[in-house]
């Protein structure tokens, strides 16, 4: 007994070290529990306040680009309004009349980015709107230039968004000219390049073609820019192309984003749930 006590007192630092390491790794592994999601990340009120200060300095340097993006967006919206006035649903057959609730299912909440990163294997963005403004985890986030990501956590006035530059994030996309659909994900390397998978090598894919969000998303409205095709390669033993896309969103000058609220998402999920359970 005495020897045991002596052993512990002699090795107390080693034991303490192991305990701290175990605790750290436990934090890394679980990382989604309620208390860590509430306090220990950048949606924490005080942390976000500090980041806002440091971001306001960064913003001055990017004002020109931000204005440019907003002007671009105005242009895009104006042309969209004009197109919608001319013809109701695009590329639909003659008899198709969209349900008015379905057509107006998306609402947008404007929000400001207070922290954005692109250089790490898994990147997050912090925005200054939270559950008080109706943002919930799982909502999509877009910007003037393209897809940004998906809301991961919310505090009352701030949210953390999983960026498209995250190893776990996938978005279903469609190539505009060839009409091919496939998931897009990031391989944690170059922050300007993302990869599109599952596009059959027997279809024609053109360099410079745009990839937009497909109709299979319940999170993003269809037709939001994801990227443009940069490089198409074929490996002889593969049935799919390796397609590299240039990321549409410029994360360096990202300043204002739109959180997408899909009012019909709960209904859609409830409808699809039995199917998922059946497959299991």
Partner 1 sequence: MTLREILQYSLWFLLYLVLQILILRSIVLFDYAFCFVYIAGILLLPAEVNRTLLLILGFLTGLLVDVFYNTLGMHAAAAVLIAYLRPFWIQIQLETKGTTERLEISMTELGIGGYLTYLLPLVFIHHAALFLIEMSHFGMIGYTLLRIVASTLFTTFLITVIQLFSKR
Interacting residues toward partner 1 by CB under 8 A: 12-14, 16-17, 20-21, 23-29, 31, 36, 40-42, 44, 47, 50-51, 53-54, 58, 117, 119-122, 124, 126, 160, 167, 187-191
Q: How far apart are CA 91 and CA 73, in angstroms?
A: 23
C-beta of 246: minimal distance to partner 1 in Å? 16
Q: How far apart are CA 70 and CA 65, in angstroms?
A: 9
Q: Which is nearer to partner 1, 189 or 231 (CB)?
A: 189
C-beta of 154: minimal distance to partner 1 in Å? 14
C-beta of 194: minimal distance to partner 1 in Å? 14
Distances (CA, A) of 61 to 12, 27, 99, 253, 258: 51, 36, 45, 9, 22
Q: Which is nearer to partner 1, 24 or 239 (CB)?
A: 24
Distances (CA, A) of 110 to 78, 90, 259: 18, 26, 6
Residues sharing a CB contact under 8 Å with residue 175, sequence separation 6 or more, in sequence order = 181, 196, 199, 205, 209, 210, 211, 229
The values of phi and psi at residue 212, to 5°, are -125, 165
C-beta of 240: minimal distance to partner 1 in Å? 17
Q: Which is nearer to partner 1, 38 or 228 (CB)?
A: 38
Q: Which is nearer to partner 1, 193 or 232 (CB)?
A: 193
Residue 146 in 3-state DSSP? coil
C-beta of 90: minimal distance to partner 1 in Å? 38
Q: How far apart are CA 158 and CA 114, in angstroms?
A: 9
Q: Which is nearer to partner 1, 196 or 205 (CB)?
A: 196
């Amino acid at each position: 007994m005495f020897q045991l006590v002596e052993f512990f007192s002699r090795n107390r630092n080693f034991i303490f070290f192991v305990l701290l390491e175990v605790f750290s790794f436990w934090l890394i592994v679980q990382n989604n529990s309620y208390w860590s999601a509430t306090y220990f990340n950048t949606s924490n009120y005080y942390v976000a306040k500090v980041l806002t200060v440091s971001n306001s300095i960064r913003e001055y340097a990017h004002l020109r680009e931000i204005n440019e993006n907003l002007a671009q967006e105005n242009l895009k919206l104006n042309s969209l309004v004009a197109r919608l006035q001319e013809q109701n649903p695009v590329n639909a057959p003659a008899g198709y009349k969209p349900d008015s609730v379905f057509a107006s299912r998306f609402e947008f909440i404007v929000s400001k980015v207070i922290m954005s990163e692109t250089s790490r294997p898994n990147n997050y963005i912090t925005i200054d709107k939270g559950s008080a403004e109706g943002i919930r985890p799982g909502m999509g986030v877009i910007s003037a230039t393209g897809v940004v990501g998906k809301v991961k956590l919310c505090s009352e006035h701030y949210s953390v968004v999983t960026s498209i530059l995250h190893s776990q994030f996938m978005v279903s996309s469609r190539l505009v000219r060839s009409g091919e659909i496939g998931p897009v994900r990031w391989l944690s390397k170059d922050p300007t390049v993302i990869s599109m998978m599952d596009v059959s090598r027997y279809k024609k894919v053109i360099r410079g073609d745009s990839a937009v969000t497909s109709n299979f998303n319940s999170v993003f409205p269809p037709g939001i820019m994801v990227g443009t095709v940069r490089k198409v390669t074929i490996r002889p033993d593969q049935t799919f192309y390796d397609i590299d896309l240039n990321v549409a969103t410029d994360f360096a000058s990202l300043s204002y984003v739109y959180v997408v609220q899909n009012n019909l998402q709960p209904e859609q999920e409830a409808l699809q749930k039995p199917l998922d359970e059946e497959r299991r």
